[in-house]
Structure 1
Amino acid sequence: MKKISEFSLIFFFLVVSVVLAPSNQTTNTINQFSLEFYKETANKNTGKSLILSPLSAEVLLGLLSTGARGDTQKEISDALHLPDSEIIKSTFQTTMRKLSNIQGVVLNIANKVYVKDGEAFKLDPVFKSVAVDQFSSDVENIDFSKATRAANTINEWVESKTNNKIKDFVSPDIFDENTRIMLVNAIYFQGNWENPFDKRSVQKTKFKKNKIDKVEVDIMYQTDDFPYANLPEWNSEILALPYKNNDTYLAIILPRKVDGLAALEEKLYGANMVNIINKMRKTEVHVGIPKFKIESTIDLKHVLPELGIKLIFNKQKADLHNLLKNPEQLFVSDAKQKAFIEVNEHGTEAGVVTGFFNKNCSIKKQKLRVVADSARIDEEYFTADHPFFYMLMNKDDIIFCGKYIGD
């Protein structure tokens, strides 16, 4: 009987603010996945603040799809709303190039493929070519049987790519004699606000978690010109806080009602976020937003199947036979995401790592479109003192998103 093997897929993210963008015809479809990814994750993480990175998940799902076949590959393509593997490869190749050309902030992105040492475990040549040429991945042979050494090697790489923000990414007990491949994506971002908040503006303020419960938080205040729009169809308003290069920004969608976040989240599913962003116009806004830190750990085995990605977890039916030159029956045994975000007076910093564990089993710099060529309107007040949804974006593209409810 053919031996069944494992393919552990683990997402770990340490986040704080981010940026990147494919400004092409696929923007709406990628954003659609991002919002669906958020919605399903939020449904399974109620009652607490949340941070996640659809983009880092998309990158490795895209890479994984190039090693998949048949219905397994189709499920990933359908979930990403990209019709086939060729479109997936070209989309993420464009994304990787654009990431490397962002100006005004620190943004480093790296992919790595670790493959079990030995002649019997070479990567499929086509998969290796796609990983290197279109996903900008490095490839390294590693002896997974020496688990402690392997874990140390991978953790050192992760720390080096995330400015030491993510430590102990993997533990030795992840690896055994069946481990074949590990795919890793790491992103590090650091950016300062275009308009920093004065530390003296920070005030202790009651944050209304719901109609009854309140908690004291530090809220930062300032008045300046920001992209802003009222969203009556969502009973909400949206504000963008740009970073210094003006292409990257934190967008906050604030419900008018204290208990309006759940209704807003329902509106997000299937929304055209590009249209929402384009509604913003530069105006004087009296801004108040909380300083916050959020950490999230998410079991994606409960999220990805809700998005239609099921077969990769099936021991008998997963078809990932294009990963290795000598194919073996592989499946995804684990999928997790860990994230961290901090927002303060100066800006944000982010580190993201995504890992898939496989066992035998130049762009012209532009100003933010919503800021340019827009007439000034009357001043507005935007005080985020109750639960809200936020997105870390580059131009029109969602990189990280989540919710803050005051915990």
Structure 2
Amino acid sequence: MTDVLESNSGGLDLSFLNGMWVAHKHKLRDSFKQLATTLYKTEPRVVDFERKVMVVEEVNLWANIASKGLITEILEPKHINNKTTVLFANALYFKGTWNFDQERTIDKEFYLLNGDKISVPFMTGCYDYSYGSFEGYQVAKIPYEIGKKDDKKEFSMFIFLPNKKKGLPSLLGKVKSDPKFFTQDFRIRYESLDAFYIPKFKFSYTAMKQVKQTMKEMGLTLPFSKKCKEITEIVKPKGPFFINRILQKAFIEVNEKGTEAAAVTVLDDDMGFSLYDEIIPLPRFVADHPFLFMIREEASKLVLFTGAVLNPLNDHSDDVSSSDYDSDDY
């Protein structure tokens, strides 16, 4: 269970790790074992899934270490049953820094979708950003500091702010209708703004049934079918082998120092100022109502994280409780 990618270059810390646990009653095929060690850089561990508590503790310890303490629990005993054969897990950790002036953080009102207002710390004093205005929304791109001079990876956070205070549903509809929305080249540029404020926020997100359903909607249906034969070559002896459940938990914190974020996924098989004749007012970018955000690597357009901030003060936004399972999930 080792890392696939790890980079700590001063201003940037990025790591991507994989983990795999196999039932002791099965034997990994040599072909897949080689694939796991060479491509996924992970050494599969043999465990007894009947000893649920021990397996859960081991997987959660792995998640804790992989996410550098941000995610301490991803698996529960009820996620394992007598049909569990293999557990796959991957973890993504990202920490980027930028240059907001902490002394200039002030409390401002944030408007919720239900019309209520709350007081939230807003950051400002960062001048290294790009701005663009589009139909129905604005975009601000804030780059993270680059560490080593020879590190060509450039990561940025994009904030998509609806023009209307209750415009997030409409923006989400636009995103859903355009599969390339987050990977497109946004026509944005450095531009002086009359005001530039974004809220500090921190929340965790747990997805259970939604991940599997989302992947099916994207067209990836075969691995979830009992008739799937493509992944039966993982273990011996052969038999029905399919993905029964995908668990995902993510955490992100954005403050003056930058962004720290982590995501762990477990798969279970059974599993400027201008002067003209008149003064044209400068645009403003004040994220005082629900918005979308994205963290992306600029050269490859690789999207690491996306999310919606509905309430910057809600530390456990969109958490899913155990009541969201139905009997078919066990």
- In the alignment, structure 1 residue 241 sits paired with structure 2 residue 146: no
Output the CA distance in 2 between the equivalents of 1:296 and 1:211. 21
Distance 1:239 1:277, change over 3 A: farther
Could you list the per-position Cα deviations for residues 73-132 of structure 1 after superposition, in whole angstroms to 9, with x for gaps in the alignment?
xxxxxxxxxxxxxxxxxxxxxxx97x44574311121111211224xx122333333222
Output the CA distance in 2 between the equivalents of 1:392 and 1:116. 36
- In the alignment, structure 1 residue 390 sits paired with structure 2 residue 270: no
Output the CA distance in 2 between the equivalents of 1:177 and 1:256. 52
Could you list the per-position Cα deviations for residues 160-180 of structure 1 after superposition, in whole angstroms to 9, with x for gaps in the alignment?
222122223323343344321
- Choose from 181, 192, 199 the match for 1:290: 199
Matches within 5 A, 1:73-222: 99-100=5-6, 103=9, 104-118=11-25, 121-193=26-98, 195=99, 197-210=100-113, 212-222=115-125
By how many angstroms is 1:154 displaced?
2.0
Q: Contact 1:225–1:284 at 8 Å: present in 2 too?
A: no
1:322 aligned counterpart, secondary structure: helix
Q: 2:304 matched to which residue of 1? A: 399
Higher helix share: 1
Q: Contact 1:254–1:388 at 8 Å: present in 2 too?
A: yes
Q: 2:165 matched to which residue of 1? A: 258
Q: Mind listing any 5+ residue stretches in structure 1 that lack a counterpart?
A: 1-95, 362-375
TM-score (norm 1): 0.64
Q: Contact 2:130–2:140 at 8 Å: present in 1 too?
A: yes
Q: Contact 1:223–1:284 at 8 Å: present in 2 too?
A: no
Could you list the per-position Cα deviations for residues 373-397 of structure 1 after superposition, in whole angstroms to 9, with x for gaps in the alignment?
xxx7866421111121110111122
* Letter aligned with residue 162 of structure 1: S
By how many angstroms is 1:278 displaced?
4.3
Could you list the per-position Cα deviations for residues 20-62 of structure 1 after superposition, in whole angstroms to 9, with x for gaps in the alignment?
xxxxxxxxxxxxxxxxxxxxxxxxxxxxxxxxxxxxxxxxxxx
Matches within 5 A, 1:215-230: 215-230=118-133
Larger relative contact order (CA 8 Å, sep ≥ 6) = 1
Matches within 5 A, 1:7-46: none
Output the CA distance in 2 between the equivalents of 1:190 and 1:131. 27
Distance 1:228 1:377, change over 3 A: farther
Distance 1:238 1:276, change over 3 A: farther
By how many angstroms is 1:151 displaced?
2.1
Matches within 5 A, 1:376-387: 380-387=283-290
- In the alignment, structure 1 residue 345 sits paired with structure 2 residue 256: yes
Q: 1:307 matched to which residue of 2? A: 218
Q: Contact 2:128–2:142 at 8 Å: present in 1 too?
A: no
Aligned pair count reads 289
Larger deviation, residues 250-259 vs 302-311: 302-311
- In the alignment, structure 1 residue 267 sits paired with structure 2 residue 174: yes
Q: Contact 1:282–1:377 at 8 Å: present in 2 too?
A: no
Q: Contact 2:250–2:261 at 8 Å: present in 1 too?
A: no
* Letter aligned with residue 122 of structure 1: K
Output the CA distance in 2 between the equivalents of 1:148 and 1:271. 40
Output the CA distance in 2 between the equivalents of 1:182 and 1:275. 31
- Choose from 245, 263, 276 the match for 1:334: 245
Output the CA distance in 2 between the equivalents of 1:123 and 1:130. 11
Q: Indicate the structure (1 or 2) with the bigger Cα radius of gyration.
A: 2
TM-score (norm 2): 0.78
- In the alignment, structure 1 residue 317 sits paired with structure 2 residue 227: yes
Q: Contact 1:211–1:258 at 8 Å: present in 2 too?
A: no
* Letter aligned with residue 184 of structure 1: A
2:192 aligned counterpart, secondary structure: strand
